[in-house]
Structure 1
Amino acid sequence: MVIMKFRRGGLLLLLAASGVAGSCIPEFGSKAKIVTIAGGGGAGGLAVPTDLQFHPLKEGELWVASSDRQDSRLSGNWIIEGAGTAHQKEGRLLRDRIAYHYQDKVSAVAFDNTGEKFFSCQESTNTYSDLSADNFFQGPTAYEVKPCGDRGYGRATGDSGCRDLTVSAEGKEGGGADYIIHSDMLHEGPLCTGLAHDAGAKTGTSGLNGIPSRTPGNVVWHSDGSRGKLMRSDFDSLHTTELIDHRFANVRRYVDVDLARRPGVPGHMVVDEAARILYVSDTGNGRVLRVDADSGRFLRDATCISDMCFAQHNERYTCYPATGSTVTHASEAECRANCGGGECFWNYWEMGCDAGHCTNNECAMTDGLGCYNLFTESGDYFEYELWGCTKWDVLSGGLGAPSGIALGTDGRVFVADWDTGVIHALDRAGNRQASFQTGSPGVAGLEVECPAGGGPCRLWFTNALRKEVSYIEVTSGCAAGDVLAPGEPRGAWGANEDPVHVATCAAAPDKTRPNYLARHGEGYNERMIVNHTYGKNCGGDLAPGEWKEGWTTEKAAECPDRLDCENMNLDLLVMSGVYCHPCLISPCLNGGKCANIAWKGFTCECPPGTSGTICATVGGGGGVLGLGASLGIAAGTLVV
């Protein structure tokens, strides 16, 4: 019998766990305590910590996904240098200047294996801080985060150097400023609750002549909470910070892998690269899935080969006569000429379109799985595909509401139950080996940290309800010979009787992906250009947003802002380069007055009693809670 002592709120609790030979998990040890190093703060502080990852190139530097559910302008990455050491520094917030889109309700984060790229996804429907209706134009975001100098991050340059992509509010690059510019974003995964980078994934080519080779290393798995499906997005070459070029990407929807989102609860993922297995916390269904990361069958292109499935290309109108049946015509003019006094309406909604997904007419296809019509790009280089016949099964059930998930160095799987706060250790076959009670529900992100020079590993976790970042400190390790082996993975995959899975496996085994370039003529695949005048009303004979030939960006900045917000696409507005606009939420807090620095950044004029770059400080207070030291030791219970 092992007697374990923990202190909570000044009350000494004596908890017992039976010591059975071969029953010790190194990350739990035979005795352990919980050390909390960061807790919630005020404006600019740690908000709701949904996930955490250590930067692969900066030992001890912890990045925490900080999701501000009250003010999405303050969502971002809470960075703690020297986390859990005597040299721990005060946490700081690094975020996008348009965090209310690129990091809105951020739920999951992941570094790539080089440490030079960082990905996030958001449990968002893209409402721009409730200033517009849900348009579901959301998905994973990519950043370049190679360490540059002391506190900067950016892009590797050809001379083994680094271009610092951190910027000030005004747009000045470098110096480890408070903001970072995103390098790419795909938008086919709204309401995402989990994401994992896959360094071993290979997309391959689709036979496009003259198209550059794919850029490896930019594949992430993630969820689409709006459809309840597993997704795989290959960013290919990032569009970087200077261009809006989303043309090169491959997005796959695995139609036979169903996931159930539980609103507000992350459902994390992790890839075992050596075994080529993706583990998924399927929170709403109370189970952990394992997926063969290299399995699946290409079913078909899902970009709706008929242009009529795209909202921007659909020119058909339907006549609704006073009596008789409706008739659809090829154009508005044809409809009005033949409608006999009836009314003509654009028939986009007859496609059965909702949240960018269409299920009627051409978009239904014969399999009934529908197509996507809301895209990052609609050019032919952007590949949107449906996959099926995926090899997957349930690794483990009966774990409550699995949220956090992490891999041990030996392949063991750690899973956190959101409802109870228990962290379970599973062997590679999915059997529960031990559990650790953290004492509070809301455990979300999990991460195993092992020191570069060797020594015991730490299991870190976030508690989204308590707004804390903690780790399990093993005070007494496992006795010699008492370490429980992680076991071997299952040799066979379980039977999957899901009707969609069965149907996709019964299809002809033809995985030939199409020549996407063959669909349209020359000039169709030019990259997106959003003029700086999009959010402006320059008058004269120009329609709102039009660009007068020969104008400079400085001249465009002089035009008054458009006020017809209901007619504007806010995604295009932020891509036009503005930060302050009547149709957008101001980046300035506490009533600060925002002013654009043309196409570079913004400044805030703070009202009396406030100060700081974005007027975050009220009165003489700091506005930010310093989190440099450990905040205390909490209870923990080992249950074997």
Structure 2
Amino acid sequence: MIHKMKKLIFIIPLLLSGVTDLNAGCTSEEVEVYIIITTDTYGYETYWEIVPFSNSCGSNTVASGGNFNVGCNGGGAQEQDKSGYANNTTITEGPFCLTDGNDYKLIAVDDWGEGGASYVINIESYPVYEFDNTSALESFVINAVAPPAIDGALESISTPANLLIGSIKITGEIKNIGTTTITSADLNYSVDNGTTKTITKEGLSIEPFTTYDFTHSTPWEPTVAGAYSVKIWISNINGKGQDADEENDVITMEIIIKEPIPDITQSYIVDSVTLSYETIGTSSDNVNTPRDLDFHPDGDLWVINKGTENSGGSTVSFKNPGESNQTSDYRQDGNAWHFMSLPSGIAFSDNGNFATSTSVYDANHGTGSPFTGPALWSSDPAIYAQPSGGNGSHLDMLHVSPYCMGIAHEQDNVFWVFDGHSNDVVRYDFGEDHGPGNSDHDDGKIRRYPEISVDRIDDHISSHLVLDKVNKWLYVIDNGNNRVLGLDINSGTVGGTPSFGPFETLAEYTNVTGVDWKVIVDNGLVEPSGIDVIGSRLIVSDHSNGDIIIYNKSTSPATELGRIKTGDPGIMGVVIGPDGRIWYANATDSKIIKIEVSKEVANTINEVPNKEQFKLYPNPSTGVIHLSALSKNNSLNKITVLDALGRSVYSSKITTGQEYTFDLTHLPTGYYYLKLDNGHTISTRKFIKVD
């Protein structure tokens, strides 16, 4: 997908001193072409040419523009001659007449050597090509052909490449690269060349050279772990059958399906199990004051190092962590000084991107402006911490959360942070990233939750967060108040403008009020820092003494079930790995530890009697179950059905009444637990589903 650089734009006419062309009116054997150039803050660094495909710069030039003192040989010379294009400006050059059907090259030259200009090539008034110059000298191919009447392209697939067994949405983006509006299309997918799942999308309105995000209405539901070849394609656009180019209609990708993470937290708190501590990483692996850790969807373990204000932070990723063939990869971005300034946390998205939180007041160090917040990165080794031609390799950064002490992922490029400056919780939606090293932030959406009052111990001890993606509750370590908070992220009303910031153009910057939140833990903690969630369990690390506490969060407040006495003060980040084991980062001793168990003990969901409030019948049931309140004072806000492994398989919010009926005939036979939430307490009832 092309990343577009949106800038402060001024449209200016063709400059006689800045362009040459051979246009004298196009013939029937030629196509009319315009080139639209958008400069960065150093417009004078740009020079470009269009030449026949087999020619080099300066040979049989068809058109050229920009700073002619840069010319073909000035890429990277850094002579900084101030002629040519203005800064932060969009210029339209043309028309030029190119021979219909021939191939040409756009050659982009940048004086400083890092690129910065973007180019749109209009052929017969349609924006057929978009290019970003990111280096001293680049060439882009142009096929001088007017776009066809009907041509839809499957632009990208957004379904992640690494997922757990379950119901999986097939999602992606269609681009109309024809001249006719797309009003309907068939969306298809198959797995391992199996049965094709087809739906017809009617009522579309995809204008020429615009895109449409789709979700196939039939989810894929794999039940066995493994590697699958998933083919997705579009067809029958506007009911016309084949379009102009069938090759761009299809994408085939490999998706790795894994078993769900087993909940073996019970193994850590029973006397019959012996715990051992495996050292995964130390200073010999370049682990240095690690404040957090998280698993990439592919199973690699990533660690975030604090670094210094002068250097910025860094990462160490471990492939095959804990195995005999474990390897490590240390990386530091070229501008970690700003984009990864004293990072306090790291969180991965399902799409392979990750975000980091910065625990400083000013990521520009010394300007006095509170300009910092979370940054978004690609985990692709060809992108992350590699020269981008721009400002580091970061994909995005938004700047209204100084002293950002922790971060958690929600979905796509959406993350939550602990804002230690404003003392609240903030939701960041980066939207579409701006590409490595670029600077467009204007599609960012930020929502503050001022009713969630938090505090930090200091600027060093992280205060982490985690989202339960099943019930959509965010759990927040509020270490300045020695407690854990919970927030229903689907609650609240959006409205009102925050009093702090913003310091850049955003698509949205609002408050959310009237949210449903509560205190989950308010005793037994000294310096809480790390947190993770699985099923009905929370695990919390205490930096002061190294304890890792396991809670049952299905009660309110949460019930402490037991403690792992690691005897290892300095623990910050803690995470439950793909194997169900607990891993942690000790910032004081600069080490990463995996806690192994001598045997696995499966969790049992402790049923809390609720017979005095509700009657459940029939039980066993073929699928339709009834709940009857035994008192008019009893009512429910929500029910959730959990399977024997503690996974949510059904949930329903309830508004009124004392009689409830639920159709669960779609569930397989077996044991289930009905979690009853009346807004004050949560209890569970076991029932059996039979044929």
> Are residues 74 and 87 of structure 1, via their aligned partners in 2, closer, same or farther at CA, if it must alter by over 3 Å?
farther
Please give the residue correspondences for 1:287-366 in structure 2 after superposition, counting only pairs within 5 Å: 287-302=483-498
Sort the Cα spacing of 1:93 and 1:72 in 2 relative to 1 into closer, same or farther, 3 A: farther
Q: Distance in 2 between matches of 1:118 and 1:127?
A: 19
2:597 pairs, out of 449, 474, 477, with 474
Partner Cα distance (1:218, 1:396) in 2: 29
Question: Using the alignment, how far apart are the partners of 2:359 and 2:461 within structure 1?
Answer: 9
1:72 to partner: Cα distance:
4.3
Cα distance, 1:51–1:256 mapped onto 2, change above 3 Å: same
User: Which whole-Å CA distance do the structure 2 matches of 1:245 and 1:136 have between them?
Assistant: 19
Aligned partners of 1:278, 1:442: CA distance in 2, in Å? 24
Counterpart CA distance in 1 for 2:607 and 2:587 is: 32
**SS of the counterpart of 2:575?**
strand
Greater relative contact order (CA < 8 Å, ≥ 6 in sequence): 1
> Percent of pairs identical after alignment?
27
Please give the alpha-carbon distance, in whole angstroms, between the structure 1 residues aligned to 2:343 and 2:606. 32
- The aligned runs of 1:90-169 (5 Å cut-off) are 91-114=328-351, 116-126=352-362, 128=364, 130=365, 132-145=366-379, 147=380, 152=381, 164-166=382-384, 168=386
CA gap 1:28/1:63 in 2 versus in 1, 3 angstroms:
farther
Match of 2:467 among 234, 255, 271: 271
Q: Which residue matches 2:317?
A: 79
C-alpha distance in structure 1 between counterparts of 2:510 and 2:274, whole Å: 50
Distance 1:403 1:167 in 2: 28
Q: Unpaired segments of 5 or more residues in structure 1?
A: 1-22, 153-163, 174-178, 200-216, 303-370, 452-456, 494-640
Corresponding position: 1:390 with 2:515 = yes
Q: SS of 2:433's equivalent?
A: coil
- What is the alpha-carbon root mean square deviation over aligned residues? 2.7
Query: Alignment partner of 1:194: what SS?
Result: strand
Q: Of residues 275, 280, 288 in structure 1, which corresponds to 2:476?
A: 280
Alpha carbons of structure 1 residues 269 and 38: separation in structure 2 relative to 1, 3 Å: same
| 1:28 Cα offset (Å) | 5.2
CA deviation string 1:152-198 (max 9, x = no partner): 2xxxxxxxxxxx314556x689xxxxx97101000011101111111
C-alpha distance in structure 2 between counterparts of 1:257 and 1:127, whole Å: 25
Find the counterpart in structure 2 of residue 583 from structure 1: none
User: How many Å separate the matches in 2 of 1:225 and 1:197?
Assistant: 18
**1:257 correspondence with 2:443:** no
- The amino acid that maps onto 1:165 is I
TM-score by length of 1: 0.50
Distance change >3 Å, CA 167–CA 464, structure 1 → 2: closer
Question: CA offset at residue 45 of structure 1?
Answer: 2.1
Structure 2 unaligned residues grouped into runs of 5+: 1-263, 611-635, 639-691
State the aligned residue count.
343
Q: Any conservation in 2 of the 1:108–1:195 contact (CA below 8 Å)?
A: yes
Q: In the alignment, residue 34 of structure 1 is paired with which amino acid?
A: Y
Q: Secondary structure at the match of 1:404?
A: strand
Bigger proportion of residues as helix: 1
Q: Conserved in 2, the CA contact under 8 Å of 1:94 and 1:180?
A: no
Secondary structure, aligned partner of 1:198: strand
Work out the CA distance in 2 between the residues paired with 1:433 and 1:37: 27
Distance in 1 between residues matched to 2:536 and 2:526, nearest whole Å: 22
Q: Which of the numbers 213, 216, 230 marks the counterpart of 2:425?
A: 230
- Return the offset for 1:463: 0.8
Residues 166 and 415 from structure 1, CA distance in 2 versus in 1: closer, same or farther, beyond 3 angstroms? closer
Would the alpha carbon gap of residues 242 and 133 (structure 1) be closer, same or farther in structure 2, given more than 3 Å must change?
A: closer
Counterpart selection for 2:500 from 357, 372, 376:
372
2:405 corresponds to which residue? 193
Contact 2:346-2:355 within 8 A present in 1 as well: yes
Structure 2 residue matching 1:75: 3-state secondary structure: strand
Partner of 1:485: 605
Structure 1 residues 24 and 240: alpha-carbon distance in aligned structure 2, compared to 1, 3 A threshold: closer
Look up the SS of the partner of 2:311 in the other structure: helix
**Structure 1 position 27, deviation (Å):** 4.5
Question: Do the aligned residues in 2 keep the contact of 1:296 with 1:389 (CA within 8 Å)?
Answer: yes
Closer/same/farther in 2, CA of residues 195 and 168 from structure 1, 3 Å limit: closer
Q: How far, CA to CA, are the matches of 1:221 and 1:52 in structure 2?
A: 16
1:240 and 1:424 map into 2 onto residues whose CA distance is: 40
CA distance in 1, matches of 2:552, 2:564: 15
Q: Which residue of 2 aligns with 1:443?
A: 571
Give the 3 Å change call, closer, same or farther, for CA 84–412 of structure 1 in structure 2.
same
Q: Is the 8 A contact 1:72 1:105 kept in 2?
A: no
Whole-Å Cα distance in 1 between the matches of residues 336 and 607 of structure 2? 43
8 Å Cα contact 1:72-1:99 kept in structure 2: no
Residue identity matched to 2:378: E
Q: 2:526 aligns with which of 393, 400, 421?
A: 400
Q: CA deviation at 1:488?
A: 8.1
Say whether the 8 Å CA contact 1:104–1:126 is kept in structure 2. Answer: no
Cα distance, 1:461–1:49 mapped onto 2, change above 3 Å:
same
Tell me the distance in 1 between the aligned counterparts of 2:268 and 2:330: 29
Question: Deviation per CA, 1:531-590, whole angstroms, max 9, x where unpaired?
Answer: xxxxxxxxxxxxxxxxxxxxxxxxxxxxxxxxxxxxxxxxxxxxxxxxxxxxxxxxxxxx
Structure-2 change in CA distance of 1:414 and 1:474 (3 Å): same
In 1, distance between residues paired with 2:339 and 2:374? 8
Distance 1:46 1:180, change over 3 A: farther
What SS does the aligned partner of 1:439 have? Answer: coil
Superposed CA offset, 1:427-457 (max 9, x none):
1221000110110211111111124xxxxx2
Deviation, structure 1 residue 84: 0.9
Q: Does the 8 Å contact 1:197/1:220 carry over to 2?
A: yes
Structure-1 separation of matches of 2:341 and 2:590: 17
- Aligned partners of 2:341 and 2:608: how far apart in 1? 40
| Structure 1 counterpart of 2:336, one-letter code | A
1:465-497 per-position Cα deviation (integer Å, ceiling 9, x unaligned): 11110011102333x7xx45366899779xxxx
CA contact (8 A) 2:393 2:437 kept: no
CA distance in 2, matches of 1:406, 1:167: 28
Letter in 2 for 1:265: I
Q: Which has the larger radius of gyration?
A: 2
- Give the deviation of 1:133 after TM superposition: 3.9
Structural mapping, 1:619-630, within 5 Å: none
| Distance change (3 Å), C-alpha of 1:422 and 1:250 | same
Contact 1:27–1:458 (8 Å) recurs in 2:
no
1:74 to 1:420, Cα distance in 2 relative to 1, 3 A: same
Q: Which residue pairs with 1:157 in the alignment?
A: none
Task: Compute the displacement of 1:39 (Å).
Answer: 1.8
Deviation at 1:74, TM superposition (A): 5.1
